[in-house]
Structure 1
C-alpha cells in the first residue's frame, strides 16, 4: 500500500511538471486565464479532474 501511494504521488508530480518544463509560457498563460475564472468554474474543473482520476484508478485495477 505504501509503495503504491509513493508511486502515484511520484507520477502525479511528473505529470504536473511536464507543462512548466517544456512550455513555461503556455503554463503561465493558463494560470493567468484561471485567475479570471469564477470559483464555480474552477470547482467544476477540479470535479472533472477528480472524477477522471477515480475512473482511471478503477480501470487500472
Structure 2
C-alpha cells in the first residue's frame, strides 16, 4: 500500500512540475485535448495505461 501512495505522490510532483515549468504549454495541450472526441481520448488513456503497466512490470522483474 505504501508503494501506491508513493506512486501517487510522484504523479503529483510530476504534474506540478509541468504546471510550474510550462503553464502555457500545459494550457495549449488541454485546449488540444478538448478538440478530441471521447473515443480518441479513451484510446490515448488506454495506451498510457498499457505503457505504464508494462514499464512497471519491466522495472519490478
With normalisation by structure 1, the TM-score equals 0.89
What is the rounded CA distance, in whole Å, between the counterparts of 1:18 and 1:26 in structure 2?
Answer: 12
| Cα distance, 1:6 vs structure 2 | 1.2
Aligned to 1:34: 33
The answer to whether 1:55 aligns with 2:49 is: no
Rounded Cα–Cα distance in structure 2 between residues aligned with 1:51 and 1:16: 20
Question: 2: distance between equivalents of 1:55 and 1:35?
Answer: 28
Name the structure 2 match of 1:14.
Answer: 13
Query: Do residues 23 (structure 1) and 25 (structure 2) align?
Result: no
RMSD: 0.9
Deviation, structure 1 residue 13: 1.1
Structure 1: stretches of 5+ with no match in the other structure: none
**Long gaps (5+) in structure 2:** none
User: Which contiguous aligned blocks of 4+ residues in structure 1 show a shift greater than 2 angstroms?
Assistant: none
The count of corresponding residues between Structure 1 and Structure 2 is 60
